[in-house]
Structure 1
């Protein structure tokens, strides 16, 4: 098996090279609009490093709670600002939205990134009252799933998490040891197992795994493995590939948003 090809998304998505520019244009316009209206708090520090920042977007009125979205990029690229526009759906539902940025491999290890996201969530939880809902895409799906392990978040923060939706998550990191990307990850059997949500006990939190129906087979497998390991619901979004499966976060009443905010929350 060609593991590098198996985990490569862009070569199998039409016009994949256009997506980053589109995301940037939509995110920049969104950030400007929210900043002008006084509903954006950009670059709040949650740690001491230059990438340990979180962008906060505020709804009209008192927030019902906080929706945390963690971006993907194989723990190797991008930052949270690129997907700012994806906050729109949760804002329209009356929730504040937090989008953390984190350090990247090979500068840090994936375990370090897990700790950074936990710290970001703790800082955000201290800023707002109410429940927390988590979602993340790809590597971000891995990171939000990792938040549900018993040794990651403080108990008082963990109790506030009502829902977690890993979107196209990497839930078992062990296959990635076979890819060239592991030159950056530096995973071995021990570290890969420690960072694999599929090897942790099912959390008490309500979890729905979401994945695009047109994704690469390994991502369909990774999503199913997590659903099987945790005994949770999995939804396969017909026709969606790895890059457009997150677009529905902009729409308050989309099926993806109903998975994150069930019962009209």
Structure 2
């Protein structure tokens, strides 16, 4: 990983949420203070998440309850990006997603689907659901759309399977490549950058996922910092030699963004 002496202070920050701001519905130590430091320093930020077990509204109110002083405009979720894509392209999706997201996608036309949407579906990742998705994809014009390709996430002190392994299974079976609409897709980062009104090289992404957060951001031209919270595993930093490393969000903010 890069050294502190190599870092130039940034003007904007992108923050992953789960594993960086909070874990299991509780704020991580120093996270609320870190966000306050960004605000006091006048550094604008956006919250980016591939989380797909809760609606954006639920995430926003959870963050407010935990003490994070944020606005709704600062929250970018992969499910919302997915919904925008489906509407823009007039797609009729078969959705493999968690029941909590059903209301957000209910207004779409789901008859005779010509697209498969894969989010973190939890217990809905069974043979019946995956086989139905496969059958839809075997239609020539059907698209495979994924919220992300995350391998796992941390919950209740254990790593849990995320959507990525099931996306890969459907790619293998159907021979189709998934269109990824959350991290690490460059378009997802670009949307947040446009909202900040800053060039990529003046923005730092802070996350706990070395691939989706750190390498994804680096490939999009941003700077990136891996924190040792959430899903971080010892040695992850070796997979992102051009990134930064911090113990937690507070250290990342103090060392890499906020001047005295």
Return the TM-score normalized by structure 2: 0.34
Instruction: Specify which structure has the bigger relative contact order, considering alpha-carbon pairs within 8 angstroms and separated by 6 or more residues.
Output: 2
| Larger CA Rg, structure 1 vs 2 | 2
Return the TM-score normalized by structure 1: 0.33
